[in-house]
Structure 1
Amino acid sequence: MSASSAIAVRDPWALVPSLGNLDAYISAVNRLPLLTAEEESSAARRLREHGDLEAAGRMVLSHLRLVVSISRQYVGYGLPQGDLIQEGNVGLMKAVKRFDPDQGVRLVSYAMHWIKAEIHEYILKNWRMVKVATTKAQRKLFFNLRSMKHQLKAGQDDAATHRNTLTEAEVAHVARELNVKREEVLEMETRMSGGDVALEPQTDDDGESFAPIAYLADDSHEPTRVIEARSRDALAGDGIQRALEVLDPRSRRIVEERWLKVNDDTSGGMTLHELAAEYGVSAERIRQIEVAAMKKMKKALTETA
């Protein structure tokens, strides 16, 4: 057994940095030792037959680099890579728990499904444009359409390459390959490629101009709306402050960093991994504290209302 493997056996978490940013984490996991087929099979049997958590830790650690690699495929959806990695790690742990070494496959092949499934679920819950992707076929379409469009445009002339929309033949090809309706391909392409529409007129001349905002009813002075607005403003101001006061200092700071803080670069507060590194715990533990804190705040807000 190599020296690095011996270190992993004594303390499987020793090589994971307790402090540092995402780049430090990625650098560290890429240096973690890989398991041989025999070591992986032995660890899986110890976990399954004896509940050996050290064996589970070794399997998780040796595949953290796989989660990082898979997470890079989804950074184009506008979500923090740190959070994508965290969700992928949850999938990896689920895979390790369910892995059966007697099936004749390596954990890396088995874990890919679980890692991608957790990341997909996270994206679908957090990306506003994907609310229509509710069926299995629609999800498959959403996660494959961009790559298939790129493949179809490859090798074409410049005019076709710069044309963003699919031709009728290309739509039919995508629908056939993904086993979905042609109309679903067109709808998903529109949702993914369409830009935002300005509500107000974008013109500098004095002529009459119409935009979507001209067709929206103004109900801001309707009595019920006024009461709702006042209640909402109260909860957003004093209510939030009172709700934060019921939390312990650590829980309060986690909520403030995750939900209430905006940095100068508008990138938001700290990620789960950054907070985990600061407090010397796992990112999953930070998320558990965050969930518990949110429940306390919700209860406090309900009592305030």
Structure 2
Amino acid sequence: MGLHDPHIRRYIRASMAEEILDAPTETALAIAWRDKRDEAALHRLITAYSRLAVSFAGRFRRYEVPYEDLIQQGNLGLMRAAEKFDPENGARFSTYAAWWIRASMQDYVMRNWSMVRTATNANQKKLFFHLRRMLQRAAVDGDSSEPVTQRIARELQVSEAQVELMMGRMSGPDLSLDAPQSSDEDGRAWVETIEDDAPATETTVLAQIETSRQRRALYQAVAELPPRERRIVAARHLADEPVTLAELGAEMGISKERVRQLEERALGRLTASLREPEPA
């Protein structure tokens, strides 16, 4: 299915025909959902901005993932935005929702573009979504004396090694490890050449248990923070793409310095909480 599917085309037309909300209406609907769990208000807010999911889906079509799946992911991002939006911080819901929609689609593309996890951190994500465009631009500007990898690394503020690694990952399709290394009948499969140098199973399990315990303790400590401090810690230290102090200040309606103070206080509380011995 895709743009030629009549159901998708009808959905796109319906989304683009939805009402455009002004700022006071957005705020009123968001408050009704936050304070009263008014599902009619939530539905109106989500429906009005389904056009954003349609619009962003068009930008990600070049990654050859199903268009309808992109729209669905965008709508999931829209729902998350409605759940987390603070209507009293002064920002427009449409602006806030756009970030969540784009992030949801980016995560979906990276999960489904390749069987191998292509991007696992902010720099790799940046490379994944900008590399092709920058390679095309470099081909057009072919008279540059600067090596392509060096130019891309400089402009995206990543290392040349990361650029070369991502170029290798995106240079060809996935290959099965069961495929033979050569066309000979007795050619060994690639999987037979892989040595297992992983630690013993017992060591791995114990490490996983300890990591799981530490993660539970951390998230429990974060959950006990005051709401504003919890939001800052989540956005600055637990998100895949940490936001800046200035961005958080604009979102929360406070100064960058105030965000820094709250972050420092929150990290102090977390440190004290995690140092407390667990109950026997």
Q: What is the match of residue 66 of structure 2?
A: 80
2:159 is aligned with 1:173: no
Mapped partners of 2:150, 2:53: distance in 1: 34
Among 105, 118, 121, the alignment partner of 1:119 is 105
Residue type of the partner of 1:68? Answer: V
1:61 is paired with a residue whose SS is: helix
Q: What is the match of residue 11 of structure 2?
A: 25
Among 136, 145, 160, the alignment partner of 2:131 is 145
Partners of 2:180 and 2:189 within 8 A in 1 = no
Q: What is the match of residue 93 of structure 2?
A: 107
Mapped partners of 1:186, 1:168: distance in 2: 15
Residue type of the partner of 1:186? Answer: E
2:7 is aligned with 1:45: no
Partners of 2:53 and 2:101 within 8 A in 1 = yes
Task: Return the offset for 1:215.
Answer: 4.0
Using structure 2 for the length normalisation, give the TM-score. Answer: 0.58
Q: In the superposition, relative to structure 1, how do residues 212 and 196 fare at CA in structure 2: closer, same or farther (>3 Å)?
A: farther
Structure 1 residues without counterparts, runs of 5 or longer = 1-19, 202-209, 220-305
Task: Return the offset for 1:73.
Answer: 1.2
Aligned pair count reads: 185
Q: What is the match of residue 60 of structure 1?
A: 46
Residue by residue, what CA displacement relative to the aligned partner does 1:167-195 show, whole Å, maximum 9, x if unpaired? Answer: 85332232133332201111211222336
Mapped partners of 2:190, 2:89: distance in 1: 63
Mapped partners of 1:130, 1:216: distance in 2: 22
2:21 is paired with a residue whose SS is: coil
Q: Which has the greater radius of gyration?
A: 1
Among 166, 171, 190, the alignment partner of 2:168 is 190
Partners of 2:114 and 2:174 within 8 A in 1 = no
Partners of 1:129 and 1:192 within 8 A in 2 = no
Mapped partners of 2:180, 2:149: distance in 1: 34
Mapped partners of 2:31, 2:190: distance in 1: 66
Q: In the superposition, relative to structure 1, how do residues 116 and 153 fare at CA in structure 2: closer, same or farther (>3 Å)?
A: same
Residue type of the partner of 1:178? Answer: L
Instruction: Indicate the structure whose relative CO is greater, using CA pairs within 8 Å and at least 6 residues apart.
Output: 1
Mapped partners of 1:83, 1:75: distance in 2: 10
Residue type of the partner of 1:184? Answer: Q
Partners of 1:124 and 1:130 within 8 A in 2 = no
Q: What is the match of residue 83 of structure 2?
A: 97
Partners of 2:180 and 2:188 within 8 A in 1 = no
Structure 2 residues without counterparts, runs of 5 or longer = 1-5, 192-280
Mapped partners of 1:168, 1:211: distance in 2: 40
Question: Which range moves more in the overlay, 173-182 or 79-88?
Answer: 173-182
Among 25, 34, 38, the alignment partner of 2:20 is 34
Q: What is the match of residue 223 of structure 1?
A: none
Residue type of the partner of 1:82? Answer: E
Mapped partners of 1:130, 1:177: distance in 2: 26
Q: In the superposition, relative to structure 1, how do residues 183 and 215 fare at CA in structure 2: closer, same or farther (>3 Å)?
A: farther
Residue type of the partner of 1:119? Answer: M
1:128 is paired with a residue whose SS is: coil
Mapped partners of 2:85, 2:138: distance in 1: 37
Mapped partners of 1:121, 1:131: distance in 2: 11
Q: In the superposition, relative to structure 1, how do residues 103 and 131 fare at CA in structure 2: closer, same or farther (>3 Å)?
A: same
Mapped partners of 2:145, 2:118: distance in 1: 23
Using structure 1 for the length normalisation, give the TM-score. Answer: 0.53
Mapped partners of 1:218, 1:172: distance in 2: 33
Among 109, 117, 130, the alignment partner of 1:131 is 117
